[in-house]
Amino acid sequence: MLITMRKTFYIIAREYITRVRKKSFILLTILGPVFFGLVFIVVPVLIMNSNTTSQKILVKDESGLIPALPDSAGVYFSFKYKEKAIEELKTNFSTLDGGYDALVYIPNIQPDAPYGITLYSNEQVSITTKSYVENVLADKLEEINIQKLGLEKKDILKLRPKIVIDDEVASADGSEKSDAAVATGIGYVSGFLIYIILLIYGSMVMRGVMEEKQNRIVEVMISSVKPIQLMMGKIVGIGLVGLTQFIIWIVLGFIIQIILSGIFAPQLMEMQNMQSMQPQGMGSDNTEILQSIESLQNQPIGFFLFIFCIYFLGGYLIYSALFAAIGSLSTDNDSDVQMYAFPVTMLILISIFIMMAVVQQPHTKLAFWASIIPFSSPIVMPAIMPFDPPLWHIILSVGLLILGFIFTTWFAARIYRTGILMYGKKIKFMEIVKWMFYKG
């Protein structure tokens, strides 16, 4: 028994050490956090800088309704040259006063029927600029229409007040505050993370088995260890590689976030100032964001991470065992492997689609059954954990997940022990079925 465990440990160590020493692993481990740092900090800063590029827009208003428009978001309006005809301005607006980027023509319209407004430009304007011009014109005409009706803006806003519902979960022990948006966000993040893990590292196990079989390395290894030891050693070794990578990502991501936040502190501060200067309604949105952050801090994140690790481990072991069995079926024609891998990949894809549905309705029968079936529970159950499923539900799901891992490991091992040593022959489906009943 001790010798068997030692051999399995050697296989695990070999898989782990050979993979973490690869340049691809080192580059991906280092560049991964850098990429996410760029996405979450640098990209918003770049977008902000692109949005703040100044644009000069000349306005020709024949209606006389709009004497001025506010300058913001990098767009500056000018109402000069009122005496010039529109046909003349259309041809030379880009040369006046150093050049205008666009010309807005407002014909003799009625404030409640603003038809015929046209935006002229020598180059196609962005959708952001077009939307901004439309919004500021709509705001001005709205003010005119409100004044014509003898009303005030505050009276109009009172007709449809903004409703913010306090979200609490009631129980026999009382009630506690909750947040449906935060729970939904945690559910989506958990489900998608495990979905990505299953596809990436499951495929990595399959490719590793295929490479060893095609290089005939496995023939040497099988002479000293059992196929089940070889398969489990590869699964656990690659799993540890993934775990190492995620731990390094978390640490580096935290460090890079601090560094980038310091480098781009002025730009981030400017973004916050721009948000605070946005028109009405933005204050309440900011309040909701702060409430969501507070709600997130009040969530049992430690417990969610514990459950996430359980289902990450269970899902990885189930699907990596299946992918290892599929890799053992490889021949010179890899299309056969893709054929066998398709159903397993579809199980993962179906699970992510179910997860997206049950996060919206986490207390349905679909959510219950998908969260206890071992092939879908690794993705679905972590996604509905923020919605407080009962303890017996969690225990049942974890128990079936363990049984699912035992079954799939047994099933995969029966295929692996025979398929790994077969060469030069196309393996048919009925042969795989017969392998399930071989003794020994």
Which band of pLDDT confidence, cut at 50, 70 and 90, is reported for residue 88? confident
| Residue of 189, 244, 220, 198 lying closest to 408 (CA atoms) | 198
Its sign, for the CA torsion 135, 136, 141, 145, is positive
pLDDT digits (tens, 9 = 90+) for 126-157: 777 888 888 888 888 888 888 887 777 777 77
Q: Where are the alpha helices (DSSP H) in 215-364?
A: 217-222, 227-263, 265-276, 282-298, 301-327, 335-358
Amino acid 440: pLDDT: 55
Closest of 282, 239, 248, 202 to residue 12, by C-alpha: 239
**Do 354 and 223 have their domain in common?**
yes
pLDDT in tens, 386-424: 888 889 999 999 999 999 999 998 888 888 877 777 776
Higher-confidence residue of 11 and 354: namely 354
Q: Decide: 377 and 397 in contact? Cβ < 8 Å.
A: yes
Sign, CA torsion 94/99/100/101: positive
Together in a domain, 208 and 253 = yes
Q: List, in sequence order, the alpha helices (H) in 149-179.
A: 153-159
Residue 135 falls inside a structural domain: yes
Q: Are residues 67 and 131 in the same domain?
A: yes
290 within domain boundaries:
no
Pick the most confident of 158-172, 195-209, 248-262, 272-286.
Answer: 195-209
Specify the DSSP class assigned to residue 332.
S
CA-CA-CA-CA torsion sign (408, 409, 411, 417): positive
Q: Is residue 287 part of a domain?
A: no
Query: Looking at residue 139, which CATH number applies to its domain?
Result: 3.40.190.10
List C-alpha distances in Å: 181 to 164, 203, 381.
12, 33, 18
Q: Assess whether 217 and 345 both reside in one domain.
A: yes
What phi and psi values does residue 129 have, to the nearest 5 degrees? Answer: -65, -45
Same domain, 329 and 237: yes
CB proximity list for 106: less than 8 A, separation 6 or greater: 59, 60, 61, 62, 63, 65, 66, 114, 117, 137
Residue 187 belongs to what domain range?
Answer: 182-261+298-435
Question: Does 374 fall in a domain?
Answer: yes
Same structural domain, 87 and 188: no
Beta bridge partners, 76, equal 56
The verdict on residue 17 lying in a domain is no
Count of domains forming the chain: 2
Q: Examine residue 335 and state whether it is found in any structural domain, yes or no.
A: yes
Instruction: Answer yes or no: pTM beyond 0.85.
Output: no
Residues in the chain: 440
User: How, if at all, do strands 55-61 and 75-78 pair?
Assistant: parallel
Q: Is residue 376 part of a domain?
A: yes
Arithmetic mean of pLDDT over the chain: 77
Residue 307 sits in the same domain as residue 362:
yes
pLDDT greater than 60 at residue 271: no
